[in-house]
Amino acid sequence: MEERPEAYVLASPITHVTADDPPLLLVHGELDQTVPFAQSEAMYQAYQQAGLEAALIKVTGAGHGLKQVTDTPISPSRSEIEGLVLKFFLKRLLGAR
């Protein structure tokens, strides 16, 4: 990153957010140690600032890949996440409510 900071900026999807981007759904484990949750928060904020539609689902107790990393089950559960994802795509792709 220190050697070629411009490459890191260009590689970041946040750099490429434009007003014509499609709706975005982010589902991210709050305890993800591979991709920090803050990156999804930053992307969500970039969408908000551009006036774009975005949803961010924070999955408590989950790490990378939404794997449970605490003694408490993840929340929302995998089945609840699947329902939220389905609802998001049905509304945006088919206009279903």
Could you read off the pLDDT tens digit of each residue along the chain, which spans 97 residues? 889 999 988 999 999 999 999 999 999 999 999 999 999 999 999 999 999 999 999 999 999 999 999 999 999 999 999 999 999 999 988 875 5
- How many domains does the chain fold into? 1
DSSP state of 60: B
The pair of three-digit structure tokens given for residue 47, joined into one six-digit string: 């969408």
CATH number of the domain that residue 71 is part of: 3.40.50.1820
- Centre a 10 Å sphere on the Cβ of residue 38 and count the other Cβ atoms it contains: 10
Looking at residue 58, its pLDDT comes to 98
Cβ contacts of residue 63 below 8 Å, gap of 6+?
29, 31, 32, 33, 34, 69
Domain that holds residue 75: 5-94
Pull the structure tokens for residue 58: 């924070």
pLDDT reported for residue 88? 94
pTM: 0.88
